[in-house]
Amino acid sequence: MAFHRRRNHYSHRFRYVLPVISVVSGTLLVLLAILSFLTPYPIDSDNLRHRVHRQRSSYNVGVDDAIGPTVFRVPSNGRKLDRDLWTSRNSKYFHGCSNASNKFLKSEAIMHPNRYLAIATSGGLNQQRTGITDAVVAARILNATLVVPKLDQKSFWKDASNFSQIFDVNWFISFLANDVKIVKELPRKGGKTWTPYTMRVPRKCSERCYNNRVLPVLLKRHAVQLTKFDYRLANRLDTDLQKLRCRVNYHALKFTDPIRKMGEKLVHRMRMKSNHYIALHLRFEPDMLAFSGCYYGGGDKERKELGALRRRWKTLHTSNSDKERRHGKCPLTPEEVGLMLRALGYGSDVHIYVASGDVYGGEETLAPLKALFPNFYSKETIASKEELESFSSFSSRMAALDFIVCDKSDVFVTNNNGNMAKILAGRRRYFGHKPTIRPNAKKLYRLFLSKENTTWEAFASKVRTYQRGFIGEPNEVRPGRGEFHENPSTCICEDSVAKEKRDSGPRKYGKADNATRKEEVFDDQNVDDEPDWPESEDDDDQSGLQEKGILDGIGLDNDGVTSEEPELEDMLSD
């Protein structure tokens, strides 16, 4: 009986539950129908997602709400750090100093009247610039009158410009009058054109080398022309000769008025867009990648295209592309450059001027960099075709325009270690230590490989650590280390009074000083690992060939005197 009473009780309650469930279910169905009517069709959402994804590039760039499950989400804003992004720490304590000492006699006291030194430069604009600078010093060593150097008009770039079409020749002669006598051409001999005796000196020829090899010929022939004159002067010389190098490079070599005015116009237009701008020497052209032997994941198509270019240099040995990148011998991709800059604190609002030829892969390759930094400019985008018409047929003049805009930038970023990078790095040190960022490619490469497996915060922290010593701070490189054109330490002086005040003042400078010392150590640990690369429109680095062992043993006699070096199609330009 008890069992039947319990069953009837539950049955009675269940009769009231069923209608309630039916009402609730019906209400939910109505709501779902309304929601499905209001919600866009799934395909539309997918298409939107794909469009946004394409705009942000192949990885999740962008912003804090990046698409996808990855933990590597790149912020759009830069990060406030403990340093100014646009100036070098402690730069106010250093200045360029290249005046001659009292013991450096004036030219009229030492120059011999019947000695003439002519120079034939080699390569692109900046390689030729190093040759011109060193030619003045060579003439001073030999107590000879210098004939205005001949520019290379037959090499890879086949630019027909002469010296006076690139540089202000009258300024060049007058500024250096106290150091070296310079004439525009050889005097006539017996009423006829005087043909000088042609010879070549070894690379890195010292003062003693010139006196032993060239002077005896000069005494006999009275006029000597040194050919292929690039990197033919020793890196280390007497202090007064080093300072003469700086006077030539940083003061005597001034571009002609048309080049200078157009360059200043480009700088002004960048300044009108923003208070600060970065100049990036991207150096990601096909010839650069072919020469370096690097590989960037483009499959058989990339290997075939770059391999065909590479075969133009018959003396290049076959290289292991993975090994080259592991050892920091390859330029960063545009995407990697952008990630490095974002990690260093530069946000998407920063304006970038790019000095580059045709980038390998075109717009597809540039897309990630442009997604990170949409304020992206070049001389072709901020000047009209008509304005560039008188320059565009001459690679050296176009390179000179890029040189000016890069030199005047707040921050210069170089993606290689060729001539333009070295010349500008040295110049920016001399004129106030303006920041010059060089990727620490060897360490960054490993970091880029594993970036998808880490957080942005961890990635950015490591980039900042690896870049210590590679951002253009004073004392990053010890005096005498590296190429003199890149590190003109003899011509950079420290303000002793300001230094004394700094060192004796409150310890507010301690952190900065410690950072500078750390940067110096970091640089010294990596300086020997830095690659020498060929150059683009403004970089022709045959010294890079030599460093890679390509020129070693080629066309050299037993005593190291160059006989006939084979043409590597005159390499590449800056």
CATH number of the domain residue 426 falls in: 3.40.50
- Give the sheet arrangement for strand 411-414, strand by strand: 376-377, 351-355, 277-281, 411-414, 436-437
Select from 254, 272, 300 the last residue of a domain.
254
Please give the backbone phi and psi of residue 3, each rounded to the nearest 5 degrees, phi first.
-60, -45
Is 508 a member of any domain? no
Closest CA to 435 of 62, 81, 132, 74: 81
Are residue 228 and residue 357 in the same domain, yes or no? no
Closest CA to 67 of 83, 52, 84: 52
Are residue 268 and residue 407 in the same domain, yes or no? yes
Is 471 a member of any domain? yes
Are residue 406 and residue 450 in the same domain, yes or no? yes
Are residue 152 and residue 280 in the same domain, yes or no? no
Select from 254, 274, 294 the last residue of a domain.
254
- The pLDDT score that the predictor gives to residue 225 is 98
Are residue 172 and residue 277 in the same domain, yes or no? no
Long-range contact pairs involving 170-175 (C-beta distance under 8 Å, separation at least 24): 171/252, 171/254, 172/148, 172/252, 172/253, 172/254, 173/148, 175/247, 175/251, 175/252
Q: Residues 6 or more apart from 479 whose CB is under 8 A from it?
A: 487, 489, 490
Mean confidence (pLDDT) of the chain: 79
**Structural domain total, the chain:** 2
Are residue 216 and residue 365 in the same domain, yes or no? no
Percentage of residues in the chain having pLDDT higher than 90:
53
Tens of pLDDT along 430-461?
999 999 999 999 999 889 988 888 999 999 99
SS3 539: coil
- The pLDDT score that the predictor gives to residue 79 is 74
First-residue to last-residue Cα distance in the chain:
106
- Name the residue range of residue 338's domain: 91-95+258-284+331-494
- The pLDDT score that the predictor gives to residue 304 is 81
What is the spatial distance between Cα 253 and Cα 560, in angstroms, rounded to a whole number? 31
Is 317 a member of any domain? no
Tens of pLDDT along 135-162?
999 999 999 999 999 998 877 667 899 9
Distances (CA, A) of 8 to 5, 20, 368: 5, 20, 74
Is 202 a member of any domain? yes
Q: Residues 6 or more apart from 187 whose CB is under 8 A from it?
A: 116, 194
- Are 545 and 551 in contact by the 8 Å Cβ rule? The answer is yes
Distances (CA, A) of 174 to 115, 127, 169: 19, 23, 9
- The pLDDT score that the predictor gives to residue 193 is 84
- The pLDDT score that the predictor gives to residue 21 is 57
Can you give the pTM of this predicted structure? 0.78
Is 158 a member of any domain? yes
Are residue 266 and residue 177 in the same domain, yes or no? no
What is the spatial distance between Cα 362 and Cα 365, in angstroms, rounded to a whole number? 6
- Are 238 and 137 in contact by the 8 Å Cβ rule? The answer is no
Distances (CA, A) of 440 to 217, 240, 330, 469: 45, 33, 11, 9
Are residue 123 and residue 135 in the same domain, yes or no? yes
Please give the backbone phi and psi of residue 286, each rounded to the nearest 5 degrees, phi first.
-55, -40
What is the spatial distance between Cα 374 and Cα 384, in angstroms, rounded to a whole number? 20
Tens of pLDDT along 74-131?
998 877 777 789 998 888 899 999 999 999 999 999 999 999 999 999 989 999 999 9
Are residue 386 and residue 461 in the same domain, yes or no? yes
- The pLDDT score that the predictor gives to residue 177 is 98
Distances (CA, A) of 269 to 240, 266, 359: 39, 5, 23
- The pLDDT score that the predictor gives to residue 538 is 40
- Are 60 and 66 in contact by the 8 Å Cβ rule? The answer is yes
Distances (CA, A) of 95 to 90, 91, 120, 277, 491: 11, 8, 33, 23, 8
SS3 370: helix
Tens of pLDDT along 167-211?
999 999 999 999 999 999 999 888 888 999 999 999 999 999 999
Query: The domain that contains 236 carries what CATH number?
Result: 3.40.50.11340
Are residue 263 and residue 354 in the same domain, yes or no? yes
Select from 463, 494, 525 the last residue of a domain.
494
Is 156 a member of any domain? yes
Query: Tokens standing for 194?
Result: 């005087």
Tens of pLDDT along 212-258?
999 999 999 999 999 999 999 999 999 999 999 999 999 999 999 99
Residue 574: pLDDT band (50, 70, 90) is low
What is the spatial distance between Cα 343 and Cα 337, in angstroms, rounded to a whole number? 10
- Are 228 and 200 in contact by the 8 Å Cβ rule? The answer is yes
Is 526 a member of any domain? no
Is 48 a member of any domain? no
Can you give the C-alpha Rg of the chain in angstroms?
31
Are residue 425 and residue 474 in the same domain, yes or no? yes
What is the spatial distance between Cα 55 and Cα 40, in angstroms, rounded to a whole number? 22
Residue 476: pLDDT band (50, 70, 90) is confident
Amino acid at 33: A
Are residue 273 and residue 166 in the same domain, yes or no? no
Tens of pLDDT along 407-429?
999 999 999 888 999 999 999 99
